[in-house]
Structure 1
Amino acid sequence: MMHAFNFFALIPLLIYVGMIAFVIWFAVTLIKTLKEKNSILKEISTKLDQNKHHPN
């Protein structure tokens, strides 16, 4: 019976560690997405600047 008590005592710790892991994963994913978005916006801006200086 003592082993079951120890397992149930660890559940809050496991939940806490899981929440921290989720927050870290979310932050990394968000940063990657924002970097990709900035790269695409920079590419669009460059193309618009080129069209502005060289009209057809």
Structure 2
Amino acid sequence: MISTFAILPFILILIIYVGILALTIWFAVSLIKAQKERNIILKEISNKLDNSKINNKEE
């Protein structure tokens, strides 16, 4: 009975560390997804600006 209570804090600490690790990984993945979306939008804007510069030079 006493040995069960002695192991309990180690299990609790392990659960906390795994939770922190999972949140860190989730945050990193979310940040990478957001950056990819921003890059796609910026690339579209850049392409539109390039096309408008080409059209202005032709005129």
Q: TM-score, normalised by structure 2?
A: 0.81
- Pairing of 1:4-43 with structure 2 (within 5 A): 5=5, 6-43=7-44
CA-based RMSD: 1.6
Shift of 1:26: 0.6
CA distance in 2, matches of 1:48, 1:9: 58
Larger radius of gyration: 2
Q: TM-score, normalised by structure 1?
A: 0.85
- Which residue identity does 2:28 align to in structure 1? A
CA distance in 2, matches of 1:7, 1:31: 36
How many positions carry a matched residue from both structures?
55
